[in-house]
Amino acid sequence: MIARDAFVSRFGGVYEHSPFIAERAYDRGLIREPLTAKAVAEALAAVFREAPEDERLGVLRAHPDLAGKLAIAGGLTEESRREQAGAGLDRLSPEEHAEFTELNSAYIDKFNFPFIIAVSGLNKDDILSAFRRRIDSSEAVELETACAEVEKIAGLRLRNMLSE
């Protein structure tokens, strides 16, 4: 069985800056070998879903703005940088960047956490369209949507880390 420290070291960043998810999954005995993306994703998602709302909000707030200040300053995690670049968010026109900045600010003002979307397979137009649509959601709907997107991101990251 993989040691706790090794598991947390390897998978603690799957949920952005939130190693407590991996720690709790391991401590609760949810981790079994062989480690597969599906099994680890399910274990981590179960812990995330059962976490108190303030902790889930903390996970959401740990995510960077899309095409935001951290991206410009080079302060994204390697996973976030790669994901945003794959969607073309590192190659925005000044007008597109201005719209992302405006939407990011409005979204955070409304929901108190950043807009989160699993960008894999999407391009900047897909993301902007979802952003424009979701900013009109209710708080309850958007919290549920953002949490589902975080789980999707975690699953995609795990598929990149583990072969089935």
The number of beta carbons lying within 10 Å of the beta carbon of residue 1 is: 10
- 102 class by beta-carbon count within 10 Å (0-12 exposed, 13-18 middle, 19+ buried): exposed
Helix axes 94-111, 124-134, angle to 10 degrees: 30
List residues with catalytic annotation: 63
- CB-CB contact of 21 with 157 (8 Å): no
Structure tokens at 27: 């401590």
> 13: helix, coil or strand?
coil
Q: What angle do CA 86, 163, 30 make, to 5 degrees?
A: 105
